[in-house]
Amino acid sequence: MSPSPQAVAHMEARRRLAEATARASRGLWRQVDRDNIYPSWVSLLARLVAVVSGGQLAAAQATEPWLMALLGSDPEQAESDQLNPGALVGVDGGGRPLAGVLMAPMWTALRLVTQGRPVVQSMAAGQVLLDAMVRTAVADAGRGADAVGMISRPAVTSYVRVVEGGACSRCLLLAGREYGVSKAFARHPKCNCTMEPVTREHRPTPTSPETVFKSMSAAEKKRTFGEAGTRAIEAGADIAQVVNARRGMATATVFGRTVRATAEGTRRGEFRRQEFRRLQDEGAIPRSRSIRGFSPTAARLMPEEIFRLADDRAHAVRLLRQHSYIA
């Protein structure tokens, strides 16, 4: 399902808020005394918690105005069920106090220093972790507020996932999917995706990951799927097959050559079924045999290997179909 302009604007505003909070946090990180990392970070921690909590509060407070503009008031919503934004402040997405969680970047930097890594490199690693934690904490507070605000409105029956243009490949696969209103929102560190409510009167129009893919710039496609993955999708490969294949990516030897292959889809999935049918057609497996227990002996090539091995476009398409990237 495609998000409304209001939902996209809501997501973008939260992303900018998370970025601004992360910038302020980086400013505090740069004040750490590199000769006294632990005590100097502890002295800055209260200010950091205040900065991140402020970002969280702003994210949570944006929910009610957004829902009101999008859906209007719900006459069935009890006055006692109103969202309390402050309840989502001061903790991370797992409910742990920020004061304890935000010690992690310091411990990361200190551990690397004690292992003999240069201080500059160690501090850079700590900053990367801090940035991810702060962005995620702000986004989680906003998403938590959205979820609470939606479930407290009886008119909201479900929600659809709103995915940003630069989302990771796995988030993109979930673009437009509909979930029950009480279903927890799946996210990863620094995830900017959010949700849009569904009611009887407000129902976003259908879309698909393919539609999101077509709207992406060439740079976004390459960053999300890689050059070979992008070429495979543009040649007609199924996005889910290309993305999921990379979960089991490894090397294999095929006809004396080392190639990049994947185990994904060899235990289950279309590649396994297709390979089973092919061997039956060739007479290598009896027609009466069940697919249960069957494991393909052939390696399932990654798209980049297919493009490297193919003689021309037609050959590449045949290989993509043979390895179940094209249905």
Pairwise CA distance, residues 327 & 91, whole Å: 46
- What is the per-residue pLDDT for 45? 96
Q: Which tokens go with 51?
A: 């900065």
Which three-class secondary structure state does DSSP give residue 77? coil
- Provide, rounded to the nearest whole percent, the portion of the chain with pLDDT above 90: 31
Give the pLDDT score at 207.
66
> pLDDT above 70 covers what percent of the chain?
75
pLDDT at 105: 96
pLDDT at 98 over 70: yes
Q: Quick one: residue 116, left, alpha or beta (phi over 0 = left, psi -120 to 50 = alpha)?
A: left
* Cα–Cα dist 68/242, whole Å: 39
What was the pLDDT predicted at 269? 55
Q: Going by C-beta distance under 8 Å and a sequence separation of 6 or more, which residues neighbour residue 191? A: 136, 139, 167, 168, 171
Of the candidate ranges 57-66, 71-80, 124-133, the one whose mean pLDDT is the lowest? 71-80
pLDDT of 91 over the 60 cut: yes
156: left (phi over 0), alpha (psi -120 to 50) or beta: beta
pLDDT at 266: 43
CA distance 309 to 54: 54
Inform me whether the pLDDT recorded for 156 exceeds 50: yes
Q: Which residues make beta-bridge pairs with 254?
A: 257
What does the pLDDT look like over 254-283, one tens digit per residue? 444 454 445 444 444 555 676 667 666 767
What is the model's pLDDT at position 20?
97
First to last CA, the chain: 23
Q: Which residue has the higher pLDDT, 130 or 300?
A: 130
pLDDT surpasses 70 at 64: yes
Q: What is the pLDDT of residue 158?
A: 87
The larger pLDDT score, comparing residue 60 to residue 184, is at 60
In tens, the pLDDT along 172-198 reads 777 778 888 777 777 877 788 888 898
Per-residue pLDDT band at 133 (split at 50, 70, 90): very high
131: how many CB neighbours lie within 10 A of its CB?
A: 21
At 18, the pLDDT band (50, 70, 90 cuts) reads very high
Encoded amino acid at 176, one letter: G
pLDDT, mean of residues 19-36: 96
| pLDDT, greater one: 53 or 311 | 53
